[in-house]
Amino acid sequence: MFRYEVLIGLEVHMQINTKSKIFCECSTQFGAEANSNICVICTSQPGVIPILNKKAVEGVIKTGLALNFTINRRCTFARKQYFYPDVPKNYQITQFESPLCSNGKLSIIVNEREKIINIERIHLEEDTGKLLHKIGGKKLNYSLLDLNRAGIGLMELVTKPELSSPQEAVEFLRELKNIVEYLDTSECNMEEGKMRCDVNVSVRIVGQKKLGVRVEIKNMNSISGVKDAITYEVQRHKKILNSGARLVQETRFWDAEEKVTKSMRLKENILDYRYFTEPDLVPLYLSNCFIENLYKQLPELPRIKKARFIKNYNLSEYDASYLTSSKMIAEYYEDALSNLDNKNSVTKLLANWISTELSAKLNASKICITKSPISSKNLSKLISLIQNEIISGKIAKIVFEEMYEKSIDPEIIIKKRGFTRISDESVITEICEKAIIESPNAVAEFKIGKKRAIDAIIGLVMKKSKGQADPKLVNKILIKKLN
């Protein structure tokens, strides 16, 4: 039996976040009625001329700058020829020899170890239309074509084959998605097909120099799918190699229902795209000033933000990681914090409520934090009620549930349900007296020196007061009475 090494390279497509398409003025809006966002250019009518969208170029460059790429000062566009109805003009405009960005890198952390993944290039191209072969699970005996997506600006990022496990591929995609969401250069919404990827996998015997035979799995649209597909493919390769058979280079796809990869086409059938320079678009010359300007527009990126959260807000590594794991969560946290008076003393408490209570609720109901029923403003009100000891932590959890359900201000809930803390001594004394009468055993134990027995009586007082009695006062009054 041999020991094998896995090599994975990813080709990631991300739709660039622009209002209009890359070569025409049609809207990029997702979910519009089929073929409502189209014109003569994106439907490939003969004789039309593409006009490059500057914002799309800017989006690619910003992404490149954030990932340590070299931005090429002169780049060209190319025609990639192939016949398929989703690109009616029979070629796709893309970049071939001189992409916008070359030689970038992304750092990932797997099993607490950092690894730098080199990225070959990011190039700009146009997205294709969408073919529909079935409706609601029912297979059609014809195909429908929707060209709304055709001509939306796409950036394609191609890594070196340096990822060596499904976990590393997952981490790479997560980190990339997070950075690009911070940059806002793509929405990266995988459900809407705004981020998709092709996965190249090969396996070789440890020590062997030559790369193993590669299989490409096309069009993955979820990170968990990528993980499953790689895991499956690596097992398949090892089995074939162990049996002494040979692997063939081919393109496969992931069948998410059967959880297997299936062959699409073999290497012999790989298309010759006959790339040549796009005659309708002049080469692009980028000035230093243009690039420097975009560099200045880069926002604070996740790793830097995380370090700042740890330093400025005194947060743990765990909390800071969670809060910066998406731009939206980080914004929610800082919004909530900005509403609070005594910021320094509540940074951890607030982080905690977000990373535990709120995240559990949002996960369970599959809601993004931007759509949280509890606004950052209302959560900061809840935190300030706890901080000012107006309600106990226990009551706060009950209030939180109701806030989540009804999306309302915690102060309204507290007023309506009479949840404010009882700190009137005479009221508490009365409850303590009742509790003492009802707990003869605990009282007896306390008197023979078992001081912990008082906890049972405190518990009873809290229960009787529905958690509203001020615990410090209860403790003080009980000790006085028992002694």
- Residue 39 binding result from ligand ADP, Zn ion, none, given CB thresholds of 5 to 8 Å by partner type: Zn ion
Least distance between ligand ADP and beta carbon 183 (Å)? 21
How many C-beta atoms surround the C-beta of residue 102 within 10 A? 17
Question: How many residues at the interface with Zn ion, by CB under 5 A?
Answer: 5
Least distance between ligand ADP and beta carbon 205 (Å)? 13
The residue (of 32 and 286) whose beta carbon lies closer to Zn ion is: 32
Rounded to an integer, what distance in angstroms lies between the CA atom of residue 264 and that of residue 212?
20
Residues 2-31 that bind Zn ion (CB under 5 A): 24, 26
Segment contacting ligand ADP (CB under 6 A): 5-13, 274-282, 396-404, 411-419?
5-13
Residues 153-172 that bind ligand ADP (CB under 6 A): 158-161
Reduced DSSP (H G I as helix, E B as strand, rest coil) percent helix, strand, coil of the chain, to 5? 40, 25, 35
Q: How far is CA 239 from the centre of its chain?
A: 34
Least distance between ligand ADP and beta carbon 8 (Å)? 6
Q: Rounded to whole angstroms, what are the CA distances from 408 to 45, 300, 361, 416?
A: 54, 32, 16, 12
Look up residue 356 and give its DSSP letter: I
User: Parallel, antiparallel, or unpaired: how do β-strands 153-159 and 4-15 relate?
Assistant: antiparallel
Q: Is 200 among the residues that bind ligand ADP (CB under 6 A)?
A: yes
Segment contacting ligand ADP (CB under 6 A): 84-92, 176-184, 195-203, 368-376?
195-203
- What φ, ψ does residue 482 adopt, rounded to 5°? -70, -30
Question: How many residues at the interface with ligand ADP, by CB under 6 A?
Answer: 15
The residue (of 24 and 379) whose beta carbon lies closer to Zn ion is: 24
Least distance between Zn ion and beta carbon 26 (Å)? 3
Q: Where are the alpha helices (DSSP H) in 297-342?
A: 302-313, 317-323, 327-338
The residue (of 156 and 278) whose beta carbon lies closer to ligand ADP is: 156
Segment contacting Zn ion (CB under 5 A): 8-16, 32-40, 404-412, 462-470?
32-40
- 4's enclosing H/E stretch is strand 4-15
Binding residue for ligand ADP (CB under 6 A) from 15, 20, 128, 202?
A: 202
Rounded to an integer, what distance in angstroms lies between the CA atom of residue 47 and that of residue 50?
10
- Residue 307 binding result from ligand ADP, Zn ion, none, given CB thresholds of 5 to 8 Å by partner type: none
Residues 437-466 that bind ligand ADP (CB under 6 A): none
The residue (of 41 and 442) whose beta carbon lies closer to Zn ion is: 41
How many C-beta atoms surround the C-beta of residue 94 within 10 A? 19
Q: Is 251 among the residues that bind ligand ADP (CB under 6 A)?
A: no
Q: Are 133 and 143 in contact (CB under 8 A)?
A: yes
Half-sphere exposure (Cβ direction) of 59: Cα atoms closer than 13 Å = 31
The residue (of 201 and 383) whose beta carbon lies closer to ligand ADP is: 201
Least distance between ligand ADP and beta carbon 92 (Å)? 13
Rounded to an integer, what distance in angstroms lies between the CA atom of residue 254 and that of residue 196?
13
- Residue 67 binding result from Zn ion, ligand ADP, none, given CB thresholds of 5 to 8 Å by partner type: none
Binding residue for Zn ion (CB under 5 A) from 10, 12, 14, 42?
A: 42
Q: Is 147 among the residues that bind Zn ion (CB under 5 A)?
A: no
The residue (of 152 and 201) whose beta carbon lies closer to ligand ADP is: 201
Least distance between ligand ADP and beta carbon 71 (Å)? 20
- 237's enclosing H/E stretch is helix 223-242
Least distance between ligand ADP and beta carbon 90 (Å)? 19
How many C-beta atoms surround the C-beta of residue 54 within 10 A? 10
Binding flags for ligand ADP, 7-36, as an x/- string (CB under 6 A):
xxxxx-------------------------
Residues whose CB falls within 8 Å of the CB of residue 89, separated by 6 or more in sequence, listed in order: 44
The residue (of 128 and 378) whose beta carbon lies closer to ligand ADP is: 128
Rounded to an integer, what distance in angstroms lies between the CA atom of residue 430 and that of residue 432?
5
Rounded to an integer, what distance in angstroms lies between the CA atom of residue 30 and that of residue 72?
31
What token pair was written down for 357? 């209570």
Least distance between ligand ADP and beta carbon 11 (Å)? 5
Question: b/e per residue, 222-258, with b = 16+ CB within 10 A?
Answer: bbebbbbbbbbbbebbeeebeeeeeeeebbbbbeeee
Torsion (CA) 29, 33, 36, 41 in degrees, nearest 10: 60
Binding residue for Zn ion (CB under 5 A) from 7, 32, 34, 39?
A: 39
How many C-beta atoms surround the C-beta of residue 276 within 10 A? 12
Residues 207-246 that bind ligand ADP (CB under 6 A): 211-212, 214
- Residue 160 binding result from Zn ion, ligand ADP, none, given CB thresholds of 5 to 8 Å by partner type: ligand ADP
Rounded to an integer, what distance in angstroms lies between the CA atom of residue 380 and that of residue 49?
54
Least distance between ligand ADP and beta carbon 245 (Å)? 18
Residues at the site binding Zn ion, with contacts judged by CB under 5 A: 24, 26, 39, 41-42
Residues at the site binding ligand ADP, with contacts judged by CB under 6 A: 7-11, 158-161, 200-202, 211-212, 214
